[in-house]
Amino acid sequence: MSEQQPTGPDVPAPTGETAPREGQAGPQADVPAGLDAASTETPPVEVVVVTGLSGAGKNSAGRVLEDLGWYVVDNLPPALLLPMVELGARGDVRRFAAVVDVRSRAFSSDLLEAIRVLAEAGHRPRVVYVHARDEVLVRRYESNRREHPLQGSGRILDGITAERALVAGIAGEADLWVDTSDLNVHQLRATLENAFAREGRTPPLTATVLSFGFKYGLPLDADLVVDARFLPNPHWLPELRPHTGQDPDVRDYVLGQSDAGPFLDRYTEVLRLLIPGYRREGKRYLTLAVGCTGGKHRSVAIAEEFARRLAADGIDAVARHRDLGRE
């Protein structure tokens, strides 16, 4: 089933010659007989498998990768991953991306097996899991007046719930989670560029420092969670309340607290201890979530400072603010 449902941030397709879109594998789509996992004649290929929830932005992510120079194929069944990768490699394709949709109850196990076979054949597969909050997905479907592909005679939310169950296995094995709930087109592009735009090398580790408000829930993709609520809340100061942790007066107030400096120093040392270990274990992406009550003042200032310190240590680091503007 071709994914024609809404896909979140809409990245324009590039003009001119492009990789095949919407399930069309182009003139090389015919797989030669006898091509299987035993083939050893093709060089290793970087492979990115983009999967996740319908309506979360998988196709938009595929278009971004296409703009970054990856050879992208949409709606590719898991069983065809290895044949298509090796066929592309014979045509000098070294960076191959596939957008893969849910097609059966065995989706996760089939895709995990296909990825295992790719790795055994000497290629370098990675999985990007694109998702969004339920209420965001429902709103996208309603605004586009489309049905969820799995809702049947039920509600849109029923289809989303069913799909989450089907993709749970592959989600747990993904190398990168991309939550598009609060991303615009530029932020989606920046996220993928940070991970995949480097020609000829894989970034050792990319860190996202994400501020959030505890009253809106914990970020699902957080690796580490820091609670900044031990610091005085600028919300209770009328002159600071309308401002955010990105404004100098709030930032200076938060970082000027007597406990802020020692906390930042000690936690930065913890990160300096953890990050080399993460690298040794092959971890490429780290999400450090910093929370306060509403995600407006303390967590924003602390997240910006953590990102600055990590960048000063030579780590690819970016600060994002999930709940800024919700109040």
Cα 270 to the chain's mean position, in Å? 25
Q: Is 299 annotated as a binding residue?
A: no
- The Cβ of residue 279 has, within 10 Å, a number of other Cβ atoms equal to 14
Q: Is 228 annotated as a binding residue?
A: no
Q: Is 47 annotated as a binding residue?
A: no
- CA dihedral sign, ordered 192, 190, 242, 240: positive
Q: Is 215 annotated as a binding residue?
A: no
Q: Is 325 annotated as a binding residue?
A: no
Q: Residue 67 and residue 215: Cα distance in Å, rounded? A: 38
Q: Is 101 annotated as a binding residue?
A: yes
Q: Is 55 annotated as a binding residue?
A: yes
- Give 213's strand partners: 292
Q: In the 8-state DSSP scheme, what is residue 70? A: -
- The answer for 69, left when phi > 0, alpha when psi is -120 to 50, beta otherwise, is left
Residues 6 or more apart whose Cβ sits within 8 Å of residue 81: 47, 49, 98, 100, 114, 115, 117, 118
Q: Is 88 annotated as a binding residue?
A: no
Q: Is 52 annotated as a binding residue?
A: yes
Q: Is 57 annotated as a binding residue?
A: yes
Q: Tokens for 248, please give them.
A: 């100098």
Query: Binding site for ATP: residue ranges?
Result: 52-59
Query: Binding site: residue ranges?
Result: 52-59, 101-104
Query: Binding site for GTP: residue ranges?
Result: 101-104
